[in-house]
Amino acid sequence: MSAGFLLVLSGPSGSGKGTVSEALMEKNEDISFSTSVTTRTPRPGEVNGENYFFTSIEDFENMVEEEELLEYAFVHTNYYGTPKKFVFDEIEKGEIVLLEIDVQGALQIKKRYKEAVFIFLLPPTMDELRNRLVKRDTETEEEINTRFKNAFKELDFVGEYDYFVVNNEVDDAVESIEHIIAAEKLRVKRHKDIKKEVLAEKKGDL
Ligand code: 5GP
């Protein structure tokens, strides 16, 4: 069995990260979603502890001070961060931990965790990105404009990622990510002692 690893998924707001992550999680039991902490106000239908841990700025700053976050960033107009403990516990169990985070967070992870895998989700076109932001009707016009402007800045960082996936159809995007995961699981470096695994006749589990 391959060791657990971090799977970082980034992409501009409206690229469909949330939908793709959900569909990916539904199909793959060995992926655990890392629920982030945020100071953003919940959107209608969002559940505390499921979509995010919604928290005050003060509590967020305490978590930063206590070094409870693996990474954190100020995105658009709010703080977002990844709780450390959950990630480490899941990796220890051999799980793939999915972090749906922005480029600033991804770059922090890249510096510290060499074994992490980085995927950038792209919209088919920038016009389509704007359409999706408008259509989902969860932000004010001003927020949509901020997110759309930020999308162009985020695209500058696509070269820092290992893979890109275009989200034209959710099912196709999920399938591409599954292929990436399948290949990553077969990296020799993810198997502490490949010879021992083979000799133990565990080839089927590799
Ligand atoms: P939203 O407000 O649309 O849920 O998320 C806004 C942005 O924050 C998205 O790009 C999302 O990926 C990013 N984000 C969510 N959680 C985290 C996190 O824990 N850390 C960082 N750096 N970004 C996050």
pLDDT of residue 148: 93
Could you tell me the distance, in angstroms and rounded to a whole number, from the CA of residue 176 to the centre of ligand 1? 22
Domain architecture of the chain: domains with CATH: 5-34+95-205 (3.40.50.300)
Pocket perturbation via mutation, ligand 1, pick of 102, 118, 149 by most ligand atoms within 8 A of CB: 102
Q: What is the mean pLDDT of each run of 10 residues along the chain (206 residues)?
A: 91 94 96 97 94 97 98 94 97 96 97 96 95 89 92 96 97 98 94 85 58
pLDDT of residue 187: 94
pLDDT of residue 202: 59
pLDDT of residue 201: 65
Residues of the binding site for ATP: 11-18
Residues with CB under 6 A from ligand 1: 13, 17, 36, 40, 71-73, 75-76, 80-82, 100-102, 104-105
pLDDT of residue 83: 98
- Tell me what percent of the chain is helix, strand and coil, each rounded to the nearest 5: 45, 20, 30
* Contacts by 127-130, CB closer than 8 A, 24 or more apart: 129/12, 129/14, 129/15, 130/14
